[in-house]
Structure 1
Amino acid sequence: MNKIFASVALASMVVASQAASALTVGFSQVGSESGWRTTFSESVKAEAERRGIDLKFSDAQQKQENQIKAIRSFIAQGVDAIVVAPVVETGWRPVLMEAARSRIPVVIVDRNVDVGNSRLYVTRIAPDFVDEGRKAAGWLMDATGGDCDIVELQGTVGSSAAIGRMEGFNEVLAEYPNAQIVRSQTAEFTRSKGKEVMESILKAEGGGKNLCALWTHNDEMALGAIQAIKEAGLQPGKDILVVSVDAVDDIFTALKAGDVNATVEMSPHLGGPAFDVIDEYLKGKRDFEKWIVMDGEVFTQQNYQAEYNKRMGAE
């Protein structure tokens, strides 16, 4: 009987030891403003579960103050590491200094932070937003011969995604004197605002019949704007070309329908690379690149089919 009790006790100690060794990671997410963002969150959660990581997830609902509160809560809980997808670039230095003082490594994913000292975070795992803008503009200039009046729907003002995509797009546009952005307004990365803002722009542009193209900083705004274009009696993808960024599942349906012409892929699967970095850091590695770039393809009406089949389970 004593041997049985001893075995049970030993098994309990092993389980307790395994539980104690499991990583606890705090993840502060921007929100759930888009299909891409939701997929991003679900991907991180699934990857954490697969690795046995205790993930403390916080949805900031698009508010930086909520993210700062969440990070301070993670610090108070003594998590092993923190992952942050920041709403905007500025305003992070004080709370990241608090994490550094507590010796808690921070990994930035997706959007960037401007803290003046890159030692306050381990690395940033994200696409090149500027290059995404270049790719979108490059496709549009090729499609139109560089002669185009463009409407732009910007993302969240102050976010690195909006800043970078705008910079890259405008960089390419500067090489084409007959291409110009005639209207530019934020639609906050959401489908509902995309529709609302596009309705307003179409009215201001006399119904939109003289517009060549719509350039949006993400697919959700494009999908909302497409509805506005249709309700105005125009055909998106033909009367007004549509190019955007993210490559979410819904945009492939729109590509198939001919409503969208091109989208630049932005992978939402950032959890695996982030957890890899955290694991290596906690094992003693310190020489990380400060920016681990995630690249993406440009999907168009001409090349979307294979990816569409894969996502929709047709292969």
Structure 2
Amino acid sequence: MLKALCQGLCLSLPLVAGAQAASVVFLNPGLSNETFWVDYSRFMQAAATDLGMQLRVQYSERRADLALTQARAVLQGPERPDYLVLVNEQYVAPEIIRLSRGTGVKLFLVNNGLTDSQARSIQAQPDKYPEVLGTLTNNDEAAGYQMLKAMVAKLPPSSEPVDLLAFAGVKTTPASQLREQGMRRALADFPQVRLRQVVYGGWNRQRAFEQAQVLLERYPQTRLVWSANDEMAFGAMRAFEQAGKVPGRDAVFSAVNSSPEALRALIDGRLGVLMGGHFTLGGWAMVMLHDDAMGLAVNRDGLREHQVPVLQLIDPAKARRWLQLLEQGGHGVDFHHYSAEGRPASYRYPFLTSPVDY
């Protein structure tokens, strides 16, 4: 049922009798069986259903070439949506923005926004690149910093050096870059922590497992394993377990993502630190697109780009609560509650300034 929901996502609920529901296509950069991106799409679909919108999700299977092919088909096809939501994974956004010129389709970026150099290039060529409706990105740099800080706090007090291994995602993904930057910023606060090596696991469990096997032979005294997502954390964890080490006892592992497996690993103590909540960004984008379709201003604070503090530390109590909420559609969120519809002009979206607690 979940597979049918995720691959066929094109449900609709009319706004009012005779009204045309706003249509949205989301170019999901992940794999169609990848827990994080499937959960991300489910949350978006819950928002679409609640708000009376049409949503279609296309998975790019982590292939930039496929993402561009899909975008071209959506933007140049006979039945164009009102909105196209995309992620600047592997730097695909500028070309998709260019392709949208003159199509009448409004673009909205989530999770990975434009890099500074991309933004400058686009701003310098307004005749080539239309303006994007909005951008919602995570607090990735802060999350990378906070994650390492929380990991060190779990170690017994000592002035002895501590070896750290880090598993970043993809070099051409802004979220991965920012999480790594945050981790490196935290190193300045902990001179006893020695960063032995950063590897790029491509968000992939098997690849991180293979990398960790090599790294553990090279650095057998590793006590800290920082990972930019849960899949890489579990891959590295498997390598440590095969070497006879116990995660949570012999090394502190961290991860980003609130998948059921990650939440359970935190509760069990195998994961020492977990950051999550960023799967909600697509849902909040749907709220803003709903309001735009209603003729309401979505840049109510005068800004088009927002960094949203969705990534937060998850403790075991919250992990247990989130596991229960995962069984409810959309985490039990009333998306209408966050809309600007019927609100005064002074209303500001609360999810832009503080994390929504479930």
Same fold by TM (over 0.5)?
A: yes
CA 1:167–1:231 in 2, change beyond 3 Å: closer, same or farther? same
CA 1:58–1:246 in 2, change beyond 3 Å: closer, same or farther? same
Q: Answer yes or no: is the 8 Å Cα contact 1:153–1:217 preserved in 2.
A: yes
CA shift digits 1:174-199 (9 cap, x unpaired): 23222121022111112222222212
CA shift digits 1:119-149 (9 cap, x unpaired): 6322222311101111112112333358421
CA shift digits 1:60-115 (9 cap, x unpaired): 01011211222222212321011012322x34323202314323211111122233
User: Which residue in the other structure is 1:305 paired with?
Assistant: 317
Please identify, of 107-116 and 60-69, the stretch whose mean Cα deviation from structure 2 is larger: 107-116
CA shift digits 1:225-249 (9 cap, x unpaired): 1111111100111111111212322
**Count of residue pairs brought into register by the alignment:** 293
Q: CA RMSD in A?
A: 2.5
Gaps of 5+ in 1: 1-14
CA 1:69–1:120 in 2, change beyond 3 Å: closer, same or farther? farther
**Are 2:203 and 1:203 equivalent residues in the alignment?**
no
Shift of 1:313: 6.9
Q: Answer yes or no: is the 8 Å Cα contact 1:63–1:87 preserved in 2.
A: no
1:275 is aligned, of 270, 273, 286, to 286
**Are 2:258 and 1:247 equivalent residues in the alignment?**
yes
| AA of the residue aligned to 2:113 | N
Identity %: 17
Shift of 1:51: 3.0
Q: Secondary structure at the match of 1:268?
A: helix
Q: Secondary structure at the match of 1:21?
A: coil
CA 1:160–1:277 in 2, change beyond 3 Å: closer, same or farther? same
Q: Secondary structure at the match of 1:212?
A: strand
User: Which residue in the other structure is 1:175 paired with?
Assistant: 189
User: Which residue in the other structure is 1:227 paired with?
Assistant: 238
User: Which residue in the other structure is 1:101 paired with?
Assistant: 102
Please identify, of 213-222 and 115-124, the stretch whose mean Cα deviation from structure 2 is larger: 115-124
| AA of the residue aligned to 2:289 | I
Gaps of 5+ in 2: 1-13, 124-129, 328-358
Q: Distance in 2 between matches of 1:306 and 1:91?
A: 35
User: Which residue in the other structure is 1:160 paired with?
Assistant: 174
User: Which residue in the other structure is 1:5 paired with?
Assistant: none
Q: Distance in 2 between matches of 1:92 and 1:309?
A: 36
Shift of 1:222: 0.7
Q: Distance in 2 between matches of 1:42 and 1:101?
A: 31
1:65-214 → structure 2 map (5 Å cutoff): 65-76=65-76, 77-88=79-90, 90-114=91-115, 115-116=118-119, 117=122, 120-144=131-155, 145=157, 147-205=161-219, 208=220, 210-214=221-225
Normalising by structure 2, report the TM-score. 0.75
| AA of the residue aligned to 1:155 | G
| AA of the residue aligned to 1:308 | R
**Are 2:291 and 1:290 equivalent residues in the alignment?**
no
Q: Distance in 2 between matches of 1:306 and 1:106?
A: 34
Q: Distance in 2 between matches of 1:50 and 1:254?
A: 32
Q: Distance in 2 between matches of 1:93 and 1:64?
A: 12
Normalising by structure 1, report the TM-score. 0.84
User: Which residue in the other structure is 2:26 paired with?
Assistant: 27
CA 1:140–1:286 in 2, change beyond 3 Å: closer, same or farther? closer
Please identify, of 212-221 and 43-52, the stretch whose mean Cα deviation from structure 2 is larger: 43-52
Please identify, of 230-239 and 192-201, the stretch whose mean Cα deviation from structure 2 is larger: 192-201
| AA of the residue aligned to 1:50 | D
Q: Answer yes or no: is the 8 Å Cα contact 2:162–2:224 preserved in 1.
A: yes
Q: Answer yes or no: is the 8 Å Cα contact 1:254–1:260 preserved in 2.
A: yes
Shift of 1:20: 6.1
Bigger radius of gyration among the two: 1
| AA of the residue aligned to 1:188 | G
